[in-house]
Amino acid sequence: MSLEIDTVKPKVKNTFMSSQGIERILMIYLLVNLGLAYHFEDEIHDTLKESFTKIEEMMDNDEDLHTVSIIFWVFRTYGHYISSDVFTRFKESDGNFKETLKGDAKGILSLHEAAHLRTAKDYILEEALSFTSNHLKSLAAGGTCPPHLSMHIQDALCLSQHWNMEMLVTVKYIPFYEQEEDHDEMLLRFAKISFKLLQLQYIQDLKILTNWYKEVDIASKVPPYLKHRIVENYFLVQAIMLTQYYTILGITDDTFDRYASLPEAEILANSLESFKILFIGLVGLIFKRRKKWLRFYYTFELLQLKAVVKANFDHAKWAQAGHLPSFEEYMEVAEVDITVCAALAGCFISLGKMATKEAYEWLKSRPRLVKSLCVRGRLVNDITGLEEDMRRGQITNAVNCYMKQYGVTKQNALRELHKMVADTDIIINEELLTTTGVSRLVLKTVMGLAQSIAVCYNGYEGFAHPDGKIKEYMISMFVDQIRL
């Protein structure tokens, strides 16, 4: 298969480079969806940089909703600010979207996906999201679309591509594309082989991780009630070192959150300094291929660990006392407790030299992008985990704190918290377009974590209870091998 990749890749590159204007932008969208964009990152970067200088000329008089939406999605996804005014051409004089659009299933679907990249001033995209959501539901249920398109629409309504994990998009898109009448056989074959090789790599990685887990004998070193989530952790990051790192973070978090008594939690929190040498050794073992970069990382990550453990302990004290602090006080602690910064630090070290010291300093400063992701992670975790928390007698939760502080019902509190999540989505989109001083790879890494969070907490607590959708996703990636 590797030989076939080497044969087909130059042909696909030639097709891409020989295409012009809009046609090439549409091909970028295909490459992204089929999981092939990483093969041509330089070519895509150069294409978009050049095309952006003549974007108005490129899109002038284009009245195809699908095409305009795809172009918008591609440029914004790659960090180029293209104005949402391009969609005013699809409105009537009364300000409503044209009635003729309602039968354009692919166009409405593409506009729906584009709307998820909206920023605070993209008012037309707020309207577009409402317009497309309503009509897509009707199209999917009405039987007027081909079955594969109807399924594609349902997937988008469940979770937009912008907030979905890239590999899950590819898993779904390859069979969808195969059923499209105008699909390119060479491109389809390339996508299948490329994904097949990734699946084989996933299996090999999981074997290595399983052996590592047995060799270090983690099962005998932690309490028997702790859940072993090596596969779930790998599903989130698809990298061996990060899976090992996330496993250690998860054990610490679970101990504070679910199992330790308050005296035990205090002992664990106070033992951080004596734990320092062990922690450095453990991180060094996990990231042994990055030794030259570890010195700065140790210092930085220990600061993150201290912050997380302190937040874990503060949260545990509230929870075990049945205390409900103010919503603001709770969020100040809980945003750290959710371990987003510590997780990102691990992601950065896995990038090696591509994550510079400046990137760590940027993360350490808790920029607006990272803070918003912390807020989002905390809120969706608490919203989806509320019922289980209550069953366990753990009332210290964002929902309950909000209810108490503002004297509202659970339903109203949930509504307001969902609005906050939507607000953080908009801030994240803005920051991805405007953040400077760090590379696009760093921003892409942050967005990758955001997508993992969105998948895990999409109306359910997927990480604590992976037997539902998460299990289905893992089977599609690791068990159901793609047919060539």
Tokens of 86: 């391009």
Q: Are 335 and 373 in contact (CB under 8 A)?
A: no
Domain count, the chain: 2
| Residues 165 and 291 grouped into a single domain | no
Give the whole-angstrom CA distance, residue 49 versus residue 431.
19
Has residue 221 been placed in a domain?
yes
CATH number, domain of 70, equals 1.50.10.130
| Residues 355 and 392 grouped into a single domain | yes
Q: What is the pLDDT of residues 250-307, one digit of tens each?
A: 888 788 877 777 887 787 777 755 555 455 555 555 555 455 555 555 566 667 777 8
Has residue 206 been placed in a domain?
no
Please state the rounded mean pLDDT for residues 144-161: 95
Give the whole-angstrom CA distance, residue 354 versus residue 289.
14
Give ∠ CA 152-154-156 in degrees, rounded to 5. Answer: 70
- Report how far apart, in Å, the C-alpha atoms of 359 and of each of 13, 159, 174, 318 are: 32, 30, 34, 34
Has residue 394 been placed in a domain?
yes
pLDDT at 154 over 70: yes
Q: What is the pLDDT of residues 72-129, one digit of tens each?
A: 999 999 999 999 999 999 999 999 999 999 889 999 999 999 999 999 999 999 999 9
Has residue 210 been placed in a domain?
no
Residue carrying the six token digits 């909206």: 118
Q: Which residue has the higher pLDDT, 459 or 335?
A: 335
CATH number, domain of 443, equals 1.10.600.10
| Residues 115 and 79 grouped into a single domain | yes
| Residues 96 and 9 grouped into a single domain | yes
Has residue 207 been placed in a domain?
no
Q: Which residue has the higher pLDDT, 354 or 158?
A: 158
| Residues 25 and 154 grouped into a single domain | yes
**pLDDT confidence of 65, banded at 50, 70, 90?**
very high
| Residues 146 and 293 grouped into a single domain | no
Has residue 56 been placed in a domain?
yes
| Residues 339 and 463 grouped into a single domain | yes
Q: Which residue has the higher pLDDT, 403 or 297?
A: 403
Range of the domain at 44: 2-191
| Residues 245 and 361 grouped into a single domain | yes
Please report the pLDDT score of residue 260 as a whole number: 75
Has residue 197 been placed in a domain?
no
H helix runs in 63-184, sequence order? 65-77, 105-115, 123-142, 147-158, 166-178
Give ∠ CA 368-309-344 in degrees, rounded to 5. Answer: 40
Has residue 209 been placed in a domain?
no
**Percent with pLDDT over 90 in the chain:** 67
| Residues 240 and 183 grouped into a single domain | no
Model pTM score = 0.93
Please report the pLDDT score of residue 461 as a whole number: 75
Residues with Cβ within 8 Å of residue 336, at least 6 apart in sequence: 307, 308, 310, 311, 374
| Residues 393 and 441 grouped into a single domain | yes
- Report how far apart, in Å, the C-alpha atoms of 199 and of each of 23, 188, 206, 348 are: 30, 16, 11, 24
| Residues 256 and 114 grouped into a single domain | no
Give the whole-angstrom CA distance, residue 101 versus residue 135.
10
